Structures are given as structure tokens and as C-alpha cells.
Amino acid sequence: MGLFQSTSPVVPASPLAGKVRVTDDEFIQLRDFIYQQSGIFIAEARKYLIENRLNNRIRELNLKTFGEYYYYLRFDPHRRNELTKLFEVITTNETSFWRNPPQLKVFQDVVLTAEIEKIRANRGRRLRIWSAGCSTGEEPYTLAIILHEVLKSEINAWDIKITANDLSEAVLAAARKGVYTDYALRTTPKSIIDTYFIKDGTNYQVDPRLKRLISFGPVNLSDRMLLKRIERSNIVFCRNVIIYFDDEMKRQVIESFYDNLLPGGCMLIGHSESLHNISRAFKPEYHTGTIVYRKEA
């Protein structure tokens, strides 16, 4: 069989006019490839997701089937570019500023305040936060705002870096730009919007003071070796990301966060995520609205 020979039908009639269908074999091939490349596991029940989201790519590349698309991803000279596009298409980038306010309150009042006290007590002024799976930037910018709120003018005397990573280059480009609609700010207190955003027509531009604290960059959380090279953190945020991984990948990523954390550091995950059956390395601290996962000091 030729490399790009068709194995699945093109459905011609309306309403599915021109829509390429994925066969069971093609789905398994692509699902396994996506898992190997990103750790994102697409269950059988979400086959429609592959079919719907990848139809445009297939059309734009003038391919006829998902089998052809798989071969393109594996062997075409432009495969690296296509992998970037694939990551854009398969990731779910839902996010917002001030997401999960009860958790952020615990972060501000308990976690961050104690961490700052600890650093001050050791005569230090260096703080590292890792926002893993930062999407379009709302999470790391929210953390930067909270740092400003807690440290106030003292922040200028601190050495602070928020490392913000994602798999998708497209979301990182939007994050670096830092321009948002009011929808992204729907749960953000008005006083915060007034202080940290510059209104630009109907959009909101983040204040350069926030941008200065953040370093955006591409990181694939399935790349264990790469994760070992990330600067060690006082606090790791990885919210609403491991939900897309299977248990094996969750274990691997959580172990990498544990190794990355400085002694006594802590990790925050999404409210629908849990470490049950994934890791016993952390000491859970129970607060109203969230669990803080602490590494021993």
C-alpha cells in the first residue's frame, strides 16, 4: 500500500459534506501517537473529538484520510511543524483569571504568606513559582497580581520568577501578548482589574509590572528529562492539566513536580483532580476550599 493511500471513506452528502470519518484502526493509531507525544490520553468515548478537531487539518493539508494524516505526522519533512499544530488542536485550553477563588485565597493568605515569612527568616528574597500548563496566561498573571498584593512595594527588592509553560505554542503566544476580553476577567474583583489592567477599547492589557515577573516557554510535561532541567520551585501550580493524562502519566508528572520542589515547598492542583492512587509522597494539608500538597522540609 502506498504511503498516503486512502483507507477510510469521505462522506459526500450533506450535512456531513466533506467530513472525513476516522476508522477504529486509525483512531487507535492516532490516539497512541498523541499519548506518546504528549501524555494526553483520549478515551474511546471521545473519538469524536479527534474526528471533529482534526478535520480542518486534513482538509488544509489536502489529505483524504486519517491514515494519511498519521503518516504525515510520522514521516513528512514538515512533521515537526505539524506536531505543533496537532498540540494546538488536541489541547483543551479553558482558563480564566482568578479561577477557583477559594483556592487562591488559601494560596494568598496561607501558602504565600508563610513562604515569604520563611524566606525572610532565612534572610532571602528569592521566590520561584512554576505554573505548569499555563494556557493563555491567566493563571500566571493571577499569581503575579497576588504577589504584588502581598509584597506591595517590597516586591521590587525581591528576586521573583514565575515559570509558565505549556505544550501549545499558540496559547503561549497569546499569553505573551497579555490582551484579554472581559470574559476572561469575569471572576476577578473590580478593584484588581482597575489596578492591574489597562483598558484598550473593549480589551484589557496586563500591566507590564506583571509581565516582568513571568517567563513563558514551551514545555512538554511528558518530557521527563526536560522537566529535570527546570529551575527548582518554592510552589508548583498545575491546575486542570493532569485531568487529561492517564494514571501512569499522572504518576510520572507528579513525581517530577515533587523532585522539582524545594524542601518544604508545596503544590496546588485543580479542584476536580486528586492524588489518590497517584502519589503518597506529599503531606496533604486540608483547608476550606482546597488541599495543599506539601513536600517535607
Ligand X SMILES: C[S@@+](CC[C@H](N)C(=O)[O-])C[C@H]1O[C@@H](n2cnc3c(N)ncnc32)[C@H](O)[C@@H]1O
Residues that bind ligand X (CB under 6 A): 38-40, 91-95, 99, 133-135, 139, 166-168, 171, 219-222, 239-241, 244, 270
Least spacing, CB of residue 239 vs ligand X, in Å: 4
**CB nearer to ligand X: pick between 38 and 65:** 38
Residue (244 or 282) nearer to ligand X, CB: 244
Q: Which residues pair with 214 in a beta bridge?
A: 162
The three-state DSSP-derived secondary structure of the chain is CCCCCCCCCEECCCCCCCEECCCHHHHHHHHHHHHHHHCECCCHHHHHHHHHHHHHHHHHCCCCCHHHHHHHHHHCCCHHHHHHHHHHHHCCCCCCCCCCHHHHHHHHHHHHHHHHHHHHHCCCCEEEEEEECCCCCHHHHHHHHHHHHHHHHHHHHCEEEEEEEECCHHHHHHHHHCEECHHHHCCCCHHHHHHHEEEECCEEEECHHHHCCEEEEECCCCCHHHHHCCCCEEEEEECCCHHHECHHHHHHHHHHHHHHEEEEEEEEECCCCCCCCCCCCCEEEEECCEEEEECCC
Instruction: In whole angstroms, give the CA distance from residue 251 to residue 275.
Output: 9
For ligand X, give the closer residue by CB, 253 or 261. 253
> What is the C-alpha separation between 130 and 185, in angstroms, rounded?
22
Q: How far is the CB of 203 from ligand X (least distance, A)?
A: 19
Beta carbon nearer to ligand X, 18 or 102: 102
In angstroms, give the least distance from the CB of 225 to ligand X.
14
Closest by Cα among 63, 69, 64 to 86: 69
CB nearer to ligand X: give 39 or 67.
39
- Nearest distance from residue 234's CB to ligand X, in Å? 18
User: Quick one: 141 or 196, whose CB is closer to ligand X?
Assistant: 141
CB of 66 to ligand X, least distance (A): 21
| Least distance CB 263 / ligand X (angstroms) | 25
- The minimum distance between CB 236 and ligand X, in angstroms, equals 11
- Identify which of residues 127 and 184 has a Cβ nearer to ligand X in the complex: 184
